[in-house]
Amino acid sequence: MKTRVEKAPIIAALAAQWQAIDDLVSGLSDADWSADSGLPGWNVGDVVAHIVGTENMIDGRKPDATRDVAGLDHVKNPIGELNERWLDHYRARSRAEVMADYRAMTAKRIADLTAMGDDEWHADAVTPVGPETYGRFMRVRTYDSWVHELDLRDALGLDEPSDPVPAAFALDEMAAVMPFLVGKKASAPKGSRVTFDFTGLVPTQVHIAVDGRAAIVPALDGPADVTLRTTVADYTRLAGGRPRAAQATVHIDGDVALGSAIVDSLHYMI
């Protein structure tokens, strides 16, 4: 079953998230703009270029870049190749031009999304997570943009993101993968009950029941075999294999062996 996502809250979250990134990078020194982002081959400015490049791609535009990027070590698939071509497109431009495009394109995308009818919003779409609704695709964009704000802040030694609304949608997107991570990657045995207990910016719990196939459930039918307590930022670092993943904190209550297997299986982002 495809995911129906309410339109107005996602658009508001995207607008807030893109503005947060603008506010974050606009005051950076040129040295910080050129600093290593911690992502292979990308500096801080490249992360911003990646966000606007992706929105350009969704808007149907093509990058002005011709370098063969398929052989780069960190490029794993055709989407990765297109990402790199957009980076090359913006590397040939000044920081001011990148930010001008960022502001113009994100404003256009918000206007286009706001004008979109409900039927189009809920229509089938090709997305990074497979065939889904267009609304789900925009939740993925909220998630991706929030993750990259965290990347920027970690690279620059700044505090974590502070707006809980985009963070909550990012967590919704990551939660959709949790049954696979628990049931398939971590090989949790049939009958297992697992709770992810998120504290801090997005205080919530996600419950996984493994009954043949792992699935998210509203509540467990008994005590959890293991509870994993962490923050959305630390979970994201682990899921993304980010540079600060080694410093991420996850408290395991209950079955330590199962909990450790799950933590070791959280990395899934390419």
Nearest in space to 52 (alpha carbons), one of 23, 24, 18: 18
What percent of the chain stands above pLDDT 70?
98
Q: Residue 71: is its pLDDT beyond 90?
A: no
In single-letter form, the type of residue at position 192 comes to S
Determine how many CB atoms are found less than 10 A away from the CB of residue 52. Answer: 24
Q: Residue 66: is its pLDDT beyond 80?
A: no
Q: Residue 151: is its pLDDT beyond 80?
A: yes
For residue 127, the number of C-alpha atoms closer than 13 Å in the C-beta half-sphere is: 21
Q: What's the CATH number of domain 7-161, 2.40.10.120, 1.10.287.3510, 1.20.120.450, 3.40.1360.10? A: 1.20.120.450
Q: Where are the domains of the chain?
A: 7-161, 177-264
Query: Tens digits of per-residue pLDDT, 253-267?
Result: 999 999 999 999 999
Q: How confident is the model at residue 72 (pLDDT cuts 50, 70, 90)?
A: confident
Determine how many CB atoms are found less than 10 A away from the CB of residue 152. Answer: 24
Query: Tens digits of per-residue pLDDT, 15-63?
Result: 999 999 999 999 999 999 999 999 999 999 999 999 999 999 999 999 8
Q: Could you give the CA distance from residue 181 to residue 121 in angstroms, rounded to a whole number?
A: 29
In single-letter form, the type of residue at position 216 comes to I
Pairing of strands 193-199, 226-231: parallel
For residue 224, the number of C-alpha atoms closer than 13 Å in the C-beta half-sphere is: 21
Determine how many CB atoms are found less than 10 A away from the CB of residue 169. Answer: 25
With residue 167 as reference, give the H or E element that holds it.
helix 164-175
Whether 7-161 and 177-264 share one fold: the answer is: no
Phi, psi of 210 (to 5 degrees): -105, 95
* Domain formed by 177-264, architecture: 2-Layer Sandwich (3.30)
> What mean pLDDT value characterizes the chain?
96
Query: Tens digits of per-residue pLDDT, 234-249?
Result: 999 999 999 999 999 9
Q: What is the mean pLDDT of residues 168-178?
A: 98
